[in-house]
Structure 1
Amino acid sequence: MIRHDGPMDLARYMELCLTHPQYGYYVTRDPFGGAGDFVTAPEVSQMFGEMIGLWLALYWQNCGSPKRLNLIELGPGRGTLMADLLRGTRNVAGLHQALTITFVEKSPTLRDKQRDAINASGFSGDVTWAEHLNEFAADDAMSVVIGNEFLDALPIHQCTFTEKGWMERAVGLSDDGQLQYGLIPVSPLLKVLIEERTDTPALNDLVEISPERDAYIRDVCAVIKKNNGAALFIDYGHDVPNAKGDTFQAMRDHGFVEALKKSGHADLTSHVDFFRTKQVAEAAGAAGFGTMTQGDFLHHIGIGHRAQNLVQNAGDKAEDIYNAYKRLTDADQMGDLFKVVAFTYNDKGVPIL
């Protein structure tokens, strides 16, 4: 494609590598867990999904325990988070009877994994799949959207300030036919978005812009706007205005690799700009809550007590449970790098955040 059409911007490169219908990374494999390329929080411990379930139950109860609730998960992986959420809330009176679950997932391989996980959880309510949130048919029920490590995989544009002004990073071909980075002129849209963020750039400043992420947040807000809906996102990222720097990364076999060396065979992500994410949601009329570190969020819900209870009955698995708890919550592991943010149109706010 590059050989025929010339260099493509980084966002297009990410999109093709991750979601191409035939060769895309997420479409062709199960990348999760020890045998995959990376481990997400739900794969670390059941406690993560259980805590998200408690948050959902609290929010649902705060809204008067409505008899119908649409629960939508974006990028649900193997379905581990949802299965643990369901097991952790099975004793919340009326919640499972209210639930209709929608998974937003493109990969046939992962859809099969999700179906198996939900069947094993014992949940007997309605479960549907969609390739994009836009396919979700909103009704008059309250909707809650959850996304764990979803926003980081949405495409980004990288723009750098040069002696010629702002230029966009692109992927092209070297003389010997290898992929390499280069620069192309910025589009008018990107120029406007950049200038909204910084009016005094220094030479070699690099900023990351994601109109795709902005658009997805607007789509989420459109879904949750009815009947006190809410959205909860957990991801790695930062919450500072006008952030600069290169956070684009590729991961394979649980380690970082060069992004242009393993096209379609590595996970490509960037750190989420939560400051911008909240701006977009608030511009759509939602109230933003957070960000809070993942460690603080999980502790406020009660992961410490849950870990103690599990350890007491775990026998020789007690150390594994404790280590998983530490991995999810410690500042030098996932506790500080990962952040939690929520949006709602409910004037009562959201629990914890």
Structure 2
Amino acid sequence: MMAGARVLSRAGAAARSVAPGLCRGWCSSPGKEPAQQPQVTPMLRHLTYKIKATGPISVAEYMREVLTNPAQGYYVHHDMLGEKGDFITSPEISQIFGELLGIWFVSEWMATGKSPAFQLVELGPGRGTLAEDILRVFSQLGSVLRSCDISVHLVEVSEKLSETQAATLTKEKAPLERHTGAPMYMKGVTKSGLPIYWYRDLRDVPKGYSFYLAHEFFDALPIHKFQKTPQGWREVLIDIDPQASDRLRFVLAPGATAAEAFIQPDEARDHVELSPDAGVVIQELAQRISLKGGAALIADYGHDGTKTDTFRGFCSHRLHDVLTAPGTADLTADVDFSYLRRMAQGRVAALGPLQQQTFLKNMGIDVRLKVLLDKSDEPSLKQQLLQGYDMLMNPKKMGERFNFFALLPHQRLLGTNCQMNTRQSEPSASSVAGFGELTWR
């Protein structure tokens, strides 16, 4: 143990309770995670060796190792999505979700002058279900997009998931090209005939006019946790439990750590979670959008700088102790959208966060649901559609828990011909689909 490190009660960094069998983003009332038996996993052995050699590690380092370690990382070797995985995401709940996001991108493309080409870039594309729904909308709106050169770019660190995405999105008869050691490690052709590429890092994606999508991406990026004490801010670290060598525990750093530089001087909360990795991604997106145009749409569960302790784990659709059996469960934390806005550093305009129920209603989810219900003659399909709608829109489920956040060029909000409306002191988001009611021009 680090000399002078203070033990932090498990309750001080406990996960929040969720309804079993649902998405990881739907947390209801606070509560304790179910008791779990210690399990000595390869990742636990790796972490204990690491801590014995270098001392307690940050929560960010713990998350990075557990989720993306090349040898034992949870995301690298697990198929965590769907009913057989550890959680379900919105695209798996209802096709309407992806369809409305597809319409959002088309709406933004039209509102910004119908560029002759654009890249659709998705960060952490899961099984490819969301991209599949979006590309189906692009195909259905072929008469609108026929003169536009579209390419698809997926940022994915998991080889297992990239294979699943390829099976979902590409033509069976069109073989994939694989490249070892190159930034673009795989390429193919989508079912609708668009070129599609895979990368491990956003920075490897070609810079150009692009629409970026990050759905349940930022919540999995490593976070640093901090606790306010009478001596000032102290980072929450992870150490070996001296009472049991096969268990981990939370402790407080005895002094200041470098990561404290990310805490705002006027921070009023007594517990803060911040992700420098998220800041790096936002700055990359902001720079690309400000120079090349386009937009970024971020959908995740989170808050606007109000919540404190949200770090939690999920396994088989149930809450899981974050320090038990590392490498076998998903780790996640609510996104602090106020931090993302700050990290954009004014290079682009930031809209939101806006609750999912409001965003989807503005996008016309009620109209789309009615169309699908009217077309269906099967009671079971109608029931599925209604259940999916309820999951997405119900304030007690995902309706208020999930939020939408967008980054756009400043000129996008300055009105026609990039001129500020002189009657407005600030730009208005009312003309941006989802953040205002959808209108077609």
TM-score (norm 2): 0.75
Q: Does 1:168 align with 2:239?
A: no
Instruction: Give the equivalent residue in structure 1 for 2:397.
Output: 333
Correspondence for 1:14 among 63, 81, 84: 63
Correspondence for 2:88 among 17, 27, 39: 39
Q: Does 1:256 align with 2:319?
A: yes
Cα deviation, 1:252-296, whole Å, max 9, x if unaligned, reads: 111111000030111111111111211222x14100112211111
C-alpha displacement at 1:174, in angstroms? 1.3
- Structure 2 counterparts to residues 6-155 of structure 1, below 5 A: 6-92=55-141, 93=143, 95=145, 97-119=148-170, 122-138=191-207, 141-155=208-222
Instruction: Give the equivalent residue in structure 1 for 2:298.
Output: 233
1:211–1:173 distance in 2 versus 1, CA, 3 Å: same
> What CA distance in whole angstroms lies between the structure 2 residues aligned with 1:318 and 1:195?
49
Correspondence for 2:406 among 339, 342, 348: 342
Q: Which blocks of at least 5 consecutive residues in structure 1 are unaligned?
A: none
* 3-state SS of 2:265 partner: helix
> What CA distance in whole angstroms lies between the structure 2 residues aligned with 1:104 and 1:331?
31
> What CA distance in whole angstroms lies between the structure 1 residues aligned with 2:254 and 2:121?
38
Cα deviation, 1:221-262, whole Å, max 9, x if unaligned, reads: 12222332210000001114xx35210010111111100003
Contact kept, 8 Å, 1:169 with 1:181, in 2: the verdict is yes
Instruction: Give the equivalent residue in structure 2 for 1:298.
Output: 360
> What CA distance in whole angstroms lies between the structure 1 residues aligned with 2:358 and 2:149?
29
Aligned partner letter, 2:94: S
Cα deviation, 1:133-170, whole Å, max 9, x if unaligned, reads: 011121xx411110000010111111111233221111
Q: Does 1:224 align with 2:289?
A: yes
Counting helix residues as a fraction of each chain, which structure ranks higher?
1
Instruction: Give the equivalent residue in structure 2 for 1:313.
Output: 375
Instruction: Give the equivalent residue in structure 1 for 2:185.
Output: none
Correspondence for 1:157 among 197, 213, 224: 224
* 3-state SS of 1:259 partner: coil
C-alpha displacement at 1:185, in angstroms? 4.4
* 3-state SS of 1:237 partner: strand
Correspondence for 2:273 among 190, 208, 218: 208
Cα deviation, 1:167-210, whole Å, max 9, x if unaligned, reads: 11111101221111111146554333224342x67xxx211122
> What CA distance in whole angstroms lies between the structure 1 residues aligned with 2:86 and 2:56?
28
Cα deviation, 1:99-121, whole Å, max 9, x if unaligned, reads: 11110001011001111111267
> What CA distance in whole angstroms lies between the structure 2 residues aligned with 1:181 and 1:33?
31
Aligned partner letter, 1:37: D
Instruction: Give the equivalent residue in structure 2 for 1:285.
Output: 347
* Greater gyration radius: 2
> What CA distance in whole angstroms lies between the structure 1 residues aligned with 2:154 and 2:259?
31
TM-score (norm 1): 0.93
> What CA distance in whole angstroms lies between the structure 1 residues aligned with 2:255 and 2:135?
46
1:197–1:265 distance in 2 versus 1, CA, 3 Å: farther
* 3-state SS of 2:398 partner: helix
> What CA distance in whole angstroms lies between the structure 2 residues aligned with 1:155 and 1:248?
10
1:186–1:197 distance in 2 versus 1, CA, 3 Å: farther
> What CA distance in whole angstroms lies between the structure 2 residues aligned with 1:346 and 1:253?
43
> What CA distance in whole angstroms lies between the structure 2 residues aligned with 1:82 and 1:312?
25
Contact kept, 8 Å, 2:237 with 2:251, in 1: the verdict is yes
Contact kept, 8 Å, 1:312 with 1:318, in 2: the verdict is no
> What CA distance in whole angstroms lies between the structure 2 residues aligned with 1:222 and 1:46?
32
> What CA distance in whole angstroms lies between the structure 1 residues aligned with 2:255 and 2:90?
36
Aligned partner letter, 1:322: L
* 3-state SS of 1:161 partner: strand
> What CA distance in whole angstroms lies between the structure 2 residues aligned with 1:348 and 1:166?
40
Contact kept, 8 Å, 2:352 with 2:406, in 1: the verdict is yes
1:235–1:188 distance in 2 versus 1, CA, 3 Å: same
Contact kept, 8 Å, 1:145 with 1:224, in 2: the verdict is no
Correspondence for 1:266 among 300, 304, 329: 329
C-alpha displacement at 1:38, in angstroms? 0.2
Aligned partner letter, 1:277: L
Cα deviation, 1:70-124, whole Å, max 9, x if unaligned, reads: 1100000000000011112213235375211110001011001111111267221
CA RMSD, Structure 1 to Structure 2 (Å): 1.7
Q: Does 1:183 align with 2:232?
A: no
Aligned partner letter, 1:307: L
Aligned partner letter, 1:253: S
* 3-state SS of 1:32 partner: coil
1:47–1:297 distance in 2 versus 1, CA, 3 Å: same
